[in-house]
Amino acid sequence: MTDKKEPLLSGIPSDLPPSYETAQQTPKRLPPPPPFALPFLQTLRTKRVILASQSPRRRQIIAFLGLPHIEIIPSDFAEDFPHTQPIEYVMATATQKAQDVYAREILNEEKGEPALILAADTIVVEPLSGAILEKPRSEAHHIAMLKSLRDARVHKVFTAIVAMAPLSSARDPGYAIETAIEETEVRFDADVTDEVILAYVRTREGVDKAGGYGMQGLGSILVEGIEGSADNVIGLPLKTTLKVIKTVLARADDDERLGSDAEDEEEDEE
């Protein structure tokens, strides 16, 4: 008679989770998703597209659209419009960014004119005073800024998006332009202590961000919740950006057909 011992794990499913040692190993990088198969994006994939911004957050977000020929060409505009009206300020700034890059690149003989120029500007508005909060200028300013947002509890983030596309008809002014503004309400956690704020400030994560915090990173510990688009707070609302791109390309295409129709009518009259 054979003394056959049953395995100790008999009856336990074989698809157990990996061991802690295995789980702690660096996972393989996943391949990028396939391109977003929208017709108006597919037409841009063989053309020159410019993002008129040096923001790494905007570059990361726009990369989701799968535009292989996108160029990062920031504007030289001083962004010195008056801060009296936040909505007017953010839209005027984003528009000037787009027009500044358009004026420089439309006559680029080496690369050719761009099919699309996209610009954006994001501001944080402190609700009690209505002040536009720019990037922090010093550690003391940074601490004071975050404390004011915590004490106010709720503030708003506005992003203006501007898209420009050249008209094939070359009719004045030579381009189609489409704009939009996205608004998101952000609630800071009232229980965030001064100690936490100081520790966050000293990470320097928020030094290059309007409002002094990055919701996509460690700055999320300051935020209790939001109402609206999360990527708007990061710097570029992707859903609204898609709508603006689609609309401006359609307008540029319509203008080309209108120009052709007008020429045909003139020939008929002759």
Strand runs labelled E in 115-267: 116-126, 131-133, 154-166, 175-188, 223-227
Cis peptide leading into residue 33 (ω within 30°): no
Query: Rounded CA gap, 70 and 48, in Å?
Result: 6
Which of 117, 118, 119, 115 lies closest to 46 in space, CA to CA? 115
When divided into structural domains, the chain yields a total of 1
- Write down the pLDDT at residue 80: 80
- Write down the pLDDT at residue 8: 46
Q: How many residues does the chain have?
A: 270
Block residue for tokens 């009259």: 269
Block residue for tokens 């100690």: 195
**Structure-derived torsion over alpha carbons of residues 132, 135, 138, 139, reported in degrees to the nearest 10:** 90
**Structure-derived torsion over alpha carbons of residues 156, 78, 205, 139, reported in degrees to the nearest 10:** -90
* Residue 220: inside a domain: yes
C-alpha separations of 210 from 77, 113, 252 in Å: 17, 32, 33
Block residue for tokens 């008209």: 167
55: domain CATH number is: 3.90.950.10
Question: Phi and psi for 120 in degrees, rounded to 5?
Answer: -150, 155
Please give the residue that has the higher pLDDT: either 89 or 28. Answer: 89
Whether the predicted pLDDT of 266 surpasses 70: no
Cβ neighbors of 50 (< 8 A, separation 6 or more) are 70, 71, 72, 73, 101, 105, 114, 116, 117, 118
Q: Domain of residue 91: give its range.
A: 38-269
Q: Which of 121, 208, 231, 264 is catalytic?
A: 121
* Residue 124: inside a domain: yes
* Residue 228: inside a domain: yes
CB 101 within 8 A of CB 72: no
Question: Phi and psi for 263 in degrees, rounded to 5?
Answer: -65, -40
Q: What SS3 state is found at 16?
A: coil
Which of 64, 71, 58 lies closest to 36 in space, CA to CA? 64
- What percentage of the chain reaches a pLDDT higher than 70? 81
Query: Rounded CA gap, 176 and 190, in Å?
Result: 45
- Write down the pLDDT at residue 9: 47
Residue 83: pLDDT band by 50, 70, 90 thresholds? confident
Task: Tell me, yes or no, if 121 is annotated catalytic.
Answer: yes
Whether the predicted pLDDT of 261 surpasses 80: no
pTM for the structure as a whole: 0.80
- Write down the pLDDT at residue 21: 60
Question: Phi and psi for 225 in degrees, rounded to 5?
Answer: 180, 170
* Residue 20: inside a domain: no
* Residue 29: inside a domain: no
Write down the mean pLDDT value for the chain.
85
* Residue 235: inside a domain: yes
- For residue range 131-189, list pLDDT tens digits in order: 999 899 999 999 999 999 999 999 999 999 999 999 877 676 789 999 999 999 999 99
Whether the predicted pLDDT of 43 surpasses 80: yes
Block residue for tokens 């977003």: 36
Please give the residue that has the higher pLDDT: either 260 or 68. Answer: 68
Block residue for tokens 């710097």: 235
* Residue 23: inside a domain: no
